[in-house]
Chain A
Amino acid sequence: GQQVMQIPQYQHVQEGEDFTTYCNSSTTLSNIQWYKQRPGGHPVFLIQLVKSGEVKKQKRLTFQFGEAKKNSSLHITATQTTDVGTYFCAEYSSASKIIFGSGTRLSIRP
């Protein structure tokens, strides 16, 4: 079935450094979603991208959807301790279900 690969699995950064997680698919994605899960919490929807080459920003977070719609990235500028958590990419399918990537766990040294 459709798989969405996400890298890296873990990332440990110094507070203030940038962070990027990548999502890749072997087939064309109809859309890409991003979720954040804080430690001990549940996933929370961040954003959905639909158009080829689309770029959206939420404060220090920048989301990109590749031109071929086979990859996506989430970039955080100047990380803060509140950014700690696991970030998941996902594709929303026409059957109303979502296929999640395996996630990138971000930890931060204060």
Chain B
Amino acid sequence: DVKVTQSSRYLVKRTGEKVFLECVQDMDHENMFWYRQDPGLGLRLIYFSYDVKMKEKGDIPEGYSVSREKKERFSLILESASTNQTSMYLCASSAKYEQYFGPGTRLTVT
């Protein structure tokens, strides 16, 4: 079974803090993705990576950066958290067309 894990289920941070969200997959997938999910807006792609040290912007990359130093790990970084980044963050990985999602991190920025 594919397993995608995320470092935290719930996180509360203050405005201006630097936030790291970690994602690890155990199936040697090349592709990894970060989404945010907000009510009525579905899943919006922030960044994705198709190889180590490679990254591509998704639809809403502003205010975020990513790091992929190892194949199994994909990190999402909020350089200076803002209240409009309060959301559910979902990580996913894929080998081909089917994406496998982690449990999500609910981030609240106060």
Where the two chains meet, the residues of A that have a C-beta atom closer than 8 Å to any C-beta of B are: 1, 6, 9, 31, 33, 41-45, 48, 88, 92, 95-103
9-residue interface stretch from B11-19, B66-74, B101-109 = B101-109
Q: Write the nearest CB–CB distance from A47 to chain B, whole angstroms.
A: 10
Contact call A42/B102, Cβ cutoff below 8 A: yes
List A contacts of B45 (CB < 8 A). Answer: 97-99
Q: Which residues 1-53 in B have Cβ within 8 Å of A in the complex?
A: 31, 33, 35, 40-45, 48, 50
Contact call A96/B90, Cβ cutoff below 8 A: no
| Interface of chain B, main secondary structure | strand
**What is the interface residue range for chain B against chain A?**
20 to 34
Interface-centre pick from B33, B90, B101, B103 (highest chain A CB count, 10 A): B101
- Measured CA separation A44–B43 after assembly (Å): 13
Contact call B48/A102, Cβ cutoff below 8 A: no
- Measured CA separation A19–B71 after assembly (Å): 41
List B contacts of A33 (CB < 8 A). Answer: 97-98
- Measured CA separation A97–B99 after assembly (Å): 9
Q: Which residue of B lies closest to A101 (CB)?
A: B42
Q: Write the nearest CB–CB distance from B83 to chain A, whole angstroms.
A: 23
Contact call B42/A88, Cβ cutoff below 8 A: yes
List B contacts of A6 (CB < 8 A). Answer: 42
Contact call A96/B48, Cβ cutoff below 8 A: yes
Contact call B101/A96, Cβ cutoff below 8 A: no
Is B86 in contact with chain A by the CB < 8 A criterion? no
Is B62 in contact with chain A by the CB < 8 A criterion? no
